[in-house]
Structure 1
Amino acid sequence: MPRLTRLAAPAILLLAALGALLVALFFGGAADRLPLADPGGVVRFGLPIATLVTDLTAALAIGTLALTCFALTPERPEWGRALDIASAGSLCWTVASCVTGFFTFLSVSNVPVTPDAKFGESLAFFLTGTSLGLAWLVSTLLAAAVTVLCFAVRGVTPVFFVALLAAGALIPIAQQGHAAGTASHTAAVTALGLHIEGAAVWLGGLLGLVLLRPVIEKARLGPVLARYSSIALVCFVIVTVSGVASAEIRIGSWSEIGSKYGLLVIAKVVALIVLGLFGVVHRRVLIARLQNRLEASKPTFWWFVAAELGFLGLASGIAAALARTETPVAQQAVNDTAAVTPAEVLTDAVLPPEFTPLRWITAWNLDLVWLLACVFLVAVYVAGVVRLRRRGDSWPVSRTIRWCVGLALLAYVTCGAPNVYGSYLMSAHLVTVVVAGLVVPILLVPAAPWTMALLAIAKRTDRSRGPREWLLLIVQSRVAAWLTYPPVGGILLAFSFWAALFTPLLRFTATSALGHFVLVLGLLLCGLLFAQALAGVDPVPVTAGFGVRMGLAALVAAVVVALGAWLAVTQGLLLANWFGAMGREWGRRRWRISSRPAWCSASSEWWRARR
C-alpha cells in the first residue's frame, strides 16, 4: 500500500467530517447566535467539533478492537500493532471526551470561564450531580481504562472483554439522547445507542485496516478484508435500521421532512446509500480480486477505500451536526401547552390507550435490540440450514420451525402488547416473565442451535477466532460445564421467578428500560439452561436422567404455582406506587372483578378463619 494513500485516507476522513459538520451547522441553524443565554462562538463551534473528534477516536478504538477479536491472528505482528492503534485511539478519545464534557458544561451552565473556586465547584457539581455531566465523566474514565488495558493485556479472551468495555463506554452518552413530545424516551435511547455502536465498529474497523495494512501479509489481506466485510454488513444493517427509527422519532411526521433537520437527515441517508454501494463492490468485486496477491498492492484499491472513508466522514459530520440541531418534535413540544400526565412523569412516554383484547395483536412498541437480535438469529439459522443442505447434510425441518416460532414469540413479547403495557399493568409484566422464562426456551432448545452453528460455520486455520471458535470456547469452558449441570438451570429459574416478583428487582425491571432488558435476558438464559436439562439436543458434559428431569420440572412447576396462588390471594397491588400511580382511568373495574374471583375470596376467608 503506498505511503501516500495510507496517510491520505485518515486525512480525507477528517476533512470530510469537519467540512460536513460546518456546512450542516450553518444550514441547520446550530451555528446561529442564541437570542437568550448564548454561550459564545467558541462553545457553539467548539462543542460539535469536540464531539465529532470524540466520535471518530472512539470509533478507531472500538472498531480496531472488534477487528482484532474477529479477524486477526495473535501470533502475527498485526495483533500487537492493532492493540497499539486501539490504545492510541483510546488516548485521543479520553482527551477529546474531557474537552467535550467541558464544553458541554459551558453550553448548559452558560457561565464564563474564571480561575476562582466558584467555577470549579460548579464544574464539579455538573460532573457528579447531574446525569449529563456524570455520563461524560463515566465515559471518559472508561476510555482511560481502555487505554491502559490495551497496553496491559495481549491475550485473545482478555482483549474481547476490553472491547466490550470500550463499547460500554458509549452507553452513558447514548442514554442522554431523548425525544421531546410524545415519543418514547426508551425508544430514542435504544435507537441512538445502536446507531453509534454500529457506526463505531464500521468506521473504526475500516480505518484500522488502513493503518494495519503495512504489517498484514499480502496473502492474508483477502481473508482479513472478507471478515471485516461481514462485520461491516451487520453494522450497516444496524446503522440503517436504527437511523430510520431515530429519525422517525425526532422528525415526528412526514410533513416535517422538509424542515432543516429533515433535509440533513436526507443528506445522511444519501451518504449511507452510497456507503451501501461501496459495500456491495467490496463484497462482490474487490475481495474476490484480492485472492490475487498482486491486487493488494494496486493503489486503485486503496484509493477506493479512502473514498469510502470520505463518505463515512460525511455521514459522521452530519450526525454530529444533527445532535446540535433542534428537531421538529422538540419545536412541537415547546408549543404544546397540554398538561403532563402522571404516566408521562413516570415513564417519559404517553399513556397508551385502553388495553382491550384486540390490542394484544394491534399494540406494538418496537424494541430494536431484541427485534434485530431475533431477526439476525433467524437469518443465521436459516442460512446454516441452507449451507448444510447444499453440502448434502440433512437437518430436521421441525427444528427450524421451533427456532423460528420461538424467536417470533420472543420478538412479540419484547416488541408487542406485553412491551407496550408492561410498564403500566402488572398482568402484562407477568406475561413477559412467564413467556421469556418458560415458553420461549422450551421452543428454542430442541432446535439444537449450538450443533447447527458448529456444523455450518467454517473452521478457521490461521489461529484467529471466528464465530465458530468463540462458540467452541464458550461450550468447552468450565463456566458452561457448571451452568449446564442439570440441577443448576431449574434452581436458577425458580429463584429468578421469585426474585423478579418479590424482591426490589421488581421495581428495577418494571420501571427502567435497562431493568426490562436485564429481566428478559436473565430469564431467557435461565430458561435455556432449564430447558437444556429437560429436552436438550446439544451435547453437554452431564446429561440428566429421567428422574432428575422430572424432579426439576416438578420444582419449577411448584414454584410457578405457588407464586401464582400467592398473587391470586394477596391483598393489594404489587408495586402500587408505580402501577397504581399512572393516572389511568381504564382497567380499574376490570381489575377488581378479574383479580379477585369468588374462589379467591372464599379461600382467603377460609385461610383467615384457620388463623
Structure 2
Amino acid sequence: MIRVAGPAALVGVAFVALIVGLEYGGGATALLLSDPGPLVRFGLPIATMLVNLSSALTIGALVLALFALRSDRPEFNRALDVAAAGAALLTVTAAATGFLSFLNVTSSSASLDSKFGEILGQFLVSVPLGQAWLVTTLLAAAVTVLCFAVRNLTALVFVAVLAVVTLLPMAQQGHAAGADGHDAAVTALFIHILFAAVWLGGLVVLALLSKQLDNARLVDVVTRYSSVALVCFIAVAASGYVSAELRVGSLDRLLTPYGVLVLIKVAALIVLGLIGAMYRRMLIRRLADGAGRRTFWKVVAAELVFMGVASGVAVALARTATPVPETVPPEATPAQILTGSPLPVELTYGNFLSAWNFDLLWILICGFGIFFYIAGVVRLKRRGDSWPLHRTILWVLGMLMLLFVTNGFMNVYEKYLFSIHMLGHMILAMMIPILLVSAGPVTLALRAIHKRTDGTRGGREWILLAVHSKIGTFLANPIVAAALFATSLLTFYYTPLFRWATTDHLGHEWMIVHFLIVGYLFAQALIGVDPVPYKLPYPFRLLLLLATMAFHAFFGLTLMTGSGLLLADWYGSMGRPWGLSAIADQQAGGGIAWSIGEIPTLILAIVVAIQWGRSDTKETKRLDRNADRTNDAELTEYNRMLERLGTRR
C-alpha cells in the first residue's frame, strides 16, 4: 500500500501547497501588462515542481543504488528502473518548462507558424534562460538512456554525476539569477536542490522498494539512508537559511507573503528533522528487533506528506516577489556591472580579518571534513586503536585554512585584485595540501569506516576502488602529479579557463577544486603517508621538487616582468580609485607566485629530508636486528667471500 499511497500523497500535497502558495504569495496573479495567461501562470510553476520531483527521483534512486543496495538483488535493478523513469519524466517536464518559460517571457501564444518556431529557436539557443532549459532537457535525456543501459556499479558513479550536473542550469534560475550577492544565492540554491533531491528522492525510492526488501535488508538500507538524510537535513537547513537571509533581509519582513511562505517551509523542515531523529532513535531499533514495520511505513507516509508541503511551497516561493529588491541600481559602477557586487573598500592590514564573503559550499565541506575526521579518530580510540595527535591537528589546521581562503578577505578581493587571486592560488595549491596530506585522511578512513560484508559498497569500499583504479594509479604517479602541478599554471592562466574561473561563479568553484586536487597529488607524491602504488626514492623526490619549483619560479618571474595585462577588460576595467594599477598589481601577483610560493617548497624539502633520515634510521635498525638474530651471518659470509678472492690470487 505504501508503495503507491506514499508517493501519491507526496505529489498531491505538493500540488495543493503550490496552488495555495501561488494564490497567497501572488505568484499566479494576472499582470496588468503583457500577461501570459492562466495556462502559463499556473502551468509554469506546476511544470517546475514536476521537474524538482523527477530530478529528486532520479538522483535519490542512483544514490541508494550506489551506497545502499545490493547489485545482485532485484532491489538494485528496480531502483535503476525508477531512476530511468524519473529521468524520462525530467526530460519531458524540463522541455515543457522551457516552452512555458518562453511563453512567459514573450507573453505570446503558442502557434504552429514558422515565425513562432523561429523565435522559440532563438530563445533556446541565444537567451540564457532558454539555454538553461535546453541543456537540462538534453542532459536528462542522456541520463534516461544511461539508466536503462548501465548496470555496472562503478560506471553508475558517472551517471550519477551527470544527473547532478542537470541541476546546475536550474540553480541559476529564479531569484538566484537577480539577487544581490548572486554567487552566494546560486551556491545556496544548488546545494538546496541537490541535497533536497537526495533526501526526498531516496525516501520515495525506499517506499517504492517496500516489497523488494525483507526486514533484515530494510534495516540495513534504512540505516544507511538515515545517515545520508542527516547530512542532507543539515545542508538543506543551512542553504535555506542563506537563501532566506538574502531575500528577506530582516525579521520584520517575515510578515510579508514571501516571509510567511518561508516560515511554512521552515516549519515543515523542523517536522522532517524530528521525524529523522525518530528514525535514528526508535524506528530502526524496533525494525532490527523484528517489530514496528507497519509503524515505520506510516511514518514514511507522514514524512512524504511534509516533504510535499515543502516542495510545493518552495516552487511558490520562486514565483513570489521578495521583500529585498533584486534590480541592479540605475547608476551601477563598473565593478557592479562586471561582478554584480559593489566595489569593496580599500584592502588594508586592518580588514585582513574583518572582511568576509561567505561561500556556503566550502563552509559545509570544511565543517563536514573536520567532523568526520574527528569522528573517525574517536571511533579508533573507542576500540583501543591509536592515532597520532599531530595528524588530527594538521587536518583541522588545513580545513580552517581552506575555510579562511574561500570565505575570508581573499574571497572578497580576488575578483578585483590579481595579486589577491594569486595569493589564494598559492595557499590552495601549495600550503593547504601539505597539511591535509600529512594528516593521512585515506589511512584514517580505511581504518575507521566499517567494512561491508553484504555485497554493497560503502565509503571504505569506494575509497579502495578509487585508490586502486587505473585512473587513481595514473594520477598518483609522481611524474604525472608533478607534470599536472607545473603545466596547470600555463594551462590555466594562458587559456580561456582563466576568464571562465574569474568571471563565472561555477568556474571559480572549479578553480578551487582543481588547485586543491593538483596540489594534493603533488604533495602526496613527495611526503604523503597514505598508501600509493608507487613512491619515488627520496633523492629523486628532491630532484622532482626542485625541477617543479624552478618551473613555478619561472612563471612568477614572467608575470613580474610582463607588461601585458591578463584579462584587461576585467581587472583593468574595475574603476578602482584605490590600490595599485592593474598592471602593477599583476606584477605584484607574480612576485607572490615567486616569493611566497617558495615557502611551501622549503617546507616540502625539509619534510622530505626528515623522512629520508628517518627511513635510513629505520633501515639501519632493521639491519642491526637482523644481524642480532643471525649472529652477523651476512657480514661473516661477506668476509669469507673476500678471503676466497684473496686466496685465488
TM-score, with normalisation over the residues of structure 1? Answer: 0.93
How far off is 1:572 after superposition? 4.9
Asked if 1:143 corresponds to 2:135, the answer is no
Aligned residue identity for 1:111: S
Please tell me the residue identity of whatever aligns with 1:93: L
Kept after mapping to 1: 8 A contact 2:129/2:173: yes
- Rounded to whole Å, the distance in 2 between the matches of 1:539 and 1:218 is 39
The aligned counterpart of 1:218 is 215
Q: Give the distance between the partners of 1:49 and 1:194, measured in 2 at CA.
A: 22
Q: Which residue does the alignment assign to 1:404?
A: 396
Deviations 1:405-440 (A, max 9, x none): 011111111111111111110011101110111000
Matched, 1:98 2:95: yes
Q: 1:585 to 1:89 in 2, by over 3 A?
A: same
Aligned equivalents of 2:416, 2:355: Cα separation in 1:
14
Question: How far 1:121 sits from its partner (Å)?
Answer: 1.1
Matches within 5 A, 1:337-356: 338-356=330-348
Candidates 313, 320, 323, aligned match of 1:325: 320
SS at structure 1 position matched to 2:391: helix
Tell me how far apart the structure 2 counterparts of residues 136 and 208 of structure 1 sit (CA, whole Å). Answer: 26
Does residue 1:549 correspond to 2:541, yes or no?
A: yes
- 8 Å contact kept, 2:175–2:318: no
Tell me which residue corresponds to 1:78: 75
Match of 1:605 in 2: none
Superimposed CA distance per residue, residues 37-78 of structure 1 (whole angstroms, 9 cap, x where no aligned partner): 111111111111111111111111111111111100000110
CA distance in 1, matches of 2:144, 2:564: 52
Q: Which residue does 2:59 correspond to in 1?
A: 62
TM-aligned CA distance change 1:190 to 1:182, over 3 Å? closer
CA contact (8 A) 2:68 2:456 kept: yes
What is the match of residue 84 of structure 2?
A: 87
Partner Cα distance (1:219, 1:490) in 2: 48
Deviation at 1:595, TM superposition (A): 5.5
Is 1:583 matched with 2:575? yes
Task: Please give the per-residue CA displacement for 1:325-374, whole angstroms capped at 9, x wherever unaligned.
Answer: 111223xx55x854011111111222212111122211111112222111
RMSD: 2.0
Q: 1:381 aligns with which of 373, 378, 387?
A: 373
How far apart, CA to CA, are the structure 1 residues paired with 2:47 and 2:580?
Answer: 51
SS at match of 1:213: coil
- 1:337 and 1:70, CA in 2 relative to 1: closer, same or farther beyond 3 A? closer
Which residue identity lines up with residue 189 of structure 1 in the other structure? V
Contact 1:569 1:596 in 2 (8 A): no
Indicate which of 407, 412, 415 corresponds to 1:420: 412
Cα–Cα, structure 1 residues 182 and 239, in superposed 2: closer, same or farther, change >3 Å?
Answer: closer
Name which of structure 1's ranges 93-102 and 461-470 shifts more when overlaid on structure 2.
93-102
- Superposition pairs for residues 258-273 of structure 1, below 5 Å? 258-273=255-270
Displacement of 1:592: 5.3
State which structure, 1 or 2, has the greater radius of gyration over its C-alpha atoms.
2
Match of residue 495, structure 1, among 487, 494, 505: 487
Compared CA separation, residues 547 and 329, structure 1 to 2 (3 A): same
Within-5 A mapping of 1:462-611: 462-588=454-580
Question: Is contact 2:192–2:236 with CA below 8 Å preserved after alignment?
Answer: yes
Q: Distance in 2 between matches of 1:259 and 1:130?
A: 32
Give the Cα–Cα distance (whole angstroms) in 2 for the partners of residues 234 and 278 of structure 1: 14
Map Cα deviations across residues 438-488 of structure 1 (whole Å, 9 max, x no partner): 000111101000000000000111110111110010011122112112222
| Partner of residue 169, structure 2 | 172
CA 1:564–1:137 in 2, change beyond 3 Å: closer, same or farther?
A: same
The Cα of 1:80 is off from its aligned counterpart by 0.8
Query: Contact 2:565–2:583 (CA<8 Å) still a contact in 1?
Result: no
Give the distance between the partners of 2:547 and 2:493, measured in 1 at CA.
Answer: 17
Structure 2: distance between partners of 1:595 and 1:78: 60
Counterparts of 1:536 and 1:581 in 2: how far apart (Å)? 43
Match of 2:37 in 1: 40
Q: Distance in 1 between matches of 2:93 and 2:507?
A: 31
Matched, 1:241 2:238: yes
Other structure's SS at 2:252 match: helix
CA distance in 2, matches of 1:171, 1:590: 33
Asked if structure 1 preserves the Cα contact closer than 8 Å seen for 2:571 and 2:582, the reply is no
CA contact (8 A) 2:433 2:520 kept: yes
The verdict on how the C-alpha distance between 1:502 and 1:321 changes in structure 2, with shifts beyond 3 A counting, is same
Are 1:313 and 2:305 an aligned pair? no
**Structure 1 residues 180 and 488: CA distance shift in structure 2, 3 A:** closer
Structure 1 residues 531 and 592: CA distance shift in structure 2, 3 A: closer
Q: Which amino acid aligns with 2:35?
A: D
Superposition pairs for residues 158-237 of structure 1, below 5 Å? 158-179=155-176, 183-237=180-234
Pair 1:67–1:590, CA change in 2 (3 A): closer
Alpha-carbon distance change, 510 to 596 in structure 1, aligned in 2, over 3 angstroms: closer
The alignment partner of 1:290 has SS state of helix
Question: Separation in 2 of the partners of 1:504 and 1:62?
Answer: 32
SS in 1 for 2:451: coil
Q: What is the Cα deviation at residue 502 of structure 1?
A: 3.3
Q: TM-score, normalised by structure 2?
A: 0.88
1:444-459 alignment, distance < 5 Å = 444-459=436-451
* Equivalent AA in structure 2 for residue 18 of structure 1: F
Which segments of 5 or more consecutive residues in structure 1 lack a partner in the other structure?
Answer: 601-611
Note if contact 2:60-2:202 (Cα within 8 Å) is conserved in structure 1.
Answer: yes
Tell which deviates more after alignment, 365-374 or 230-239.
365-374
- 1:481-525 deviation digits (Å, cap 9, x = unpaired): 121122222221111123333333322222221222222111111
**Match for residue 111 of structure 1?**
108
User: Which whole-Å CA distance do the structure 1 matches of 2:400 and 2:569 have between them?
Assistant: 33
Q: Which amino acid aligns with 2:526?
A: L
Match of 2:625 in 1: none
How far the C-alpha of 1:591 sits from its partner, in A, is 8.0
Q: Is the 8 A contact 2:176 2:189 kept in 1?
A: no
Q: In 1, distance between residues paired with 2:135 and 2:490?
A: 33
How many residue pairs align between the two structures? 591
Answer whether contact 1:344 1:350 (CA < 8 A) is retained. yes
Q: 1:218-244 CA distances to partner (integer Å, 9 max, x unpaired)?
A: 211101000000111111111111111
Which residue does the alignment assign to 1:429? 421
1:359 alignment counterpart? 351
